[in-house]
Amino acid sequence: MNRLKLDGEISQDISRAVALLREGELVAIPTETVYGLAADASNEQAVGKVFSAKRRPLSHPLIVHVGEPGQLSEWATDIPALAWQLAEQFWPGPLTLILKKSPMAPAIITGGQDTIALRIPGHPVALAILKEFGGALAAPSANRYGRISPTAASHVFGQFGDDVMAVVDGGLCPVGIESSIVDLSTEEPRILRPGLLDGELVKAGVAPYRQDGESQGPRVSGSDLRHYAPVKPASLCPPKELKTRIEQQSGGKIQVWSLTPNRYGLQHVDWVVMPVDPAFYARELYLRLHDFENSDNDLLIIEQPPVTSLWRGINNRLQRATRLTTEESTA
Ligand code: TXA
Ligand code: MG
């Protein structure tokens, strides 16, 4: 299969991407959060290719991306008023809504569940593709199952080789971590996957994310303990223990992500100063993880960011990226 990198005239690229999607091919597209591996949501065979390309188990349902809020009522039923309110407030944007599915949604997308995940992405290229395509696109993050999510077109090429028909290059993803997921299919609306909107969602009446709630309710991929992970060891470290932790390492090249330029006089480490603003930190997170993976460093030590609601989505991804494979593997 030919792989194409679509990065010529943007309007041309969009038409070619749409043509491939109509033929049932996979196309990686930029969204504001991460790159998505898109397929025509109404074509079960095309959706099946997403699972095989990602090597993702069929039990992990996909997010359906639409271009217009009106499409909600095609794919979902029993839509509560809060759903329309959140759609109005946050779409296009990094929010996914879980609703009761309509008969239109094939079981392969929903993992056989009676709910469906929907969102309108806030990226001009994704929106232009959705608009020209007219239908809906099932698109998980364009990474292999359990691996680091892609925030640049080059990340997608790095992981997929020939399994993806085309990658539409839309530059770096401005949000940088996946959308917040809100479950509106039960009595109590709740955040299932934290992102950058958690504070505002709670203000809008959604119950906060609960780490211990992960094993209940619908499957959320990302809810596997280890996820978004680099292939080399990475660990989180409280700020106070950073110096000692670094000094304790014997052998191997160390990269450190710190929130300050204070190196404690440790000259031999690759010291990366991370942004102190969570929105900027999120934007850099996966880029930096990819950089670490491709670097000659053997080990990554990440200074624990503040444990506050603003940082919840980031801390969630950092915890998953640093879990030991022996605890639970996603393989
Ligand atoms: O920002 C994002 O959400 C990106 C971009 C590409 O849109 N997509 C993304 O997709 O993160 P993925 O497949 O990596 O994660 C989708 C999440 C999974 O955790 C999946 O289990 C959950 O959505 N999901 C999908 N349908 C669901 C359902 N019916 N109930 C509960 N969770 C669902
Ligand atoms: Mg993912």
Q: What is the pLDDT of residues 208-243, one digit of tens each?
A: 999 875 544 555 555 555 666 778 999 999 999 999
- For the domain made up of 234-322, give the CATH fold: Rossmann fold (3.40.50)
ipTM of the complex as predicted = 0.99
Residue 245 has pLDDT above 70, yes or no: yes
**Rounded percentage of the chain residues whose pLDDT exceeds 90:** 81
Mean pLDDT for the chain overall: 91
Q: Give the tokens for residue 300.
A: 């990554």
36 lines ligand 1 (CB under 6 A): yes
Residue at 107: amino acid letter = A
| Distance, CA of 67 to CA of 106 (rounded, Å) | 19
Considering every ligand atom, which ligand is closest to the CA of 330?
Answer: 2
State the distance from the centre of ligand 1 to the C-alpha of 271, rounded, in angstroms: 33
Residue 276 has pLDDT above 60, yes or no: yes
Residue 302 has pLDDT above 60, yes or no: yes
176 lines ligand 1 (CB under 6 A): no
**Nearest alpha carbon to residue 178 among 276, 317, 281, 27:** 317
**Nearest alpha carbon to residue 198 among 84, 63, 311, 34:** 311
Whether the model pTM is above 0.90: yes
- 4-213 has which CATH code? 3.90.870.10
139 lines ligand 1 (CB under 6 A): yes
**Alpha helix ranges (H) inside 55-116:** 72-75, 81-90, 107-110
What's residue 216's pLDDT? 47
Residue 151 has pLDDT above 60, yes or no: yes
What's residue 231's pLDDT? 81
Secondary structure letter of residue 145 according to DSSP: T
Which band of pLDDT confidence, cut at 50, 70 and 90, is reported for residue 108?
very high
220 lines ligand 1 (CB under 6 A): yes
State the distance from the centre of ligand 1 to the C-alpha of 68, rounded, in angstroms: 19
Q: What tens digit of pLDDT does each residue of 1-50 get?
A: 456 777 777 778 999 999 999 999 999 999 999 999 999 999 999 999 99
Which strand (E) or helix (H) includes residue 181? strand 180-183
Ligand 1 atom 21, closest CA: 220
State the distance from the centre of ligand 2 to the C-alpha of 54, rounded, in angstroms: 10
Residue 166 has pLDDT above 50, yes or no: yes
| Distance, CA of 163 to CA of 169 (rounded, Å) | 17
Relative to the CA of 119, which ligand 1 atom is closest?
7
113 lines ligand 1 (CB under 6 A): yes
State the distance from the centre of ligand 2 to the C-alpha of 248, rounded, in angstroms: 34
Which band of pLDDT confidence, cut at 50, 70 and 90, is reported for residue 251?
confident
The stretch 75-92 carries a mean pLDDT of 98
Which strand (E) or helix (H) includes residue 98? strand 95-101
State the distance from the centre of ligand 2 to the C-alpha of 121, rounded, in angstroms: 15
Residues paired with 273 in a beta bridge: 258
Domain ranges of the chain: 4-213, 234-322
Relative to the CA of 121, which ligand 1 atom is closest?
7
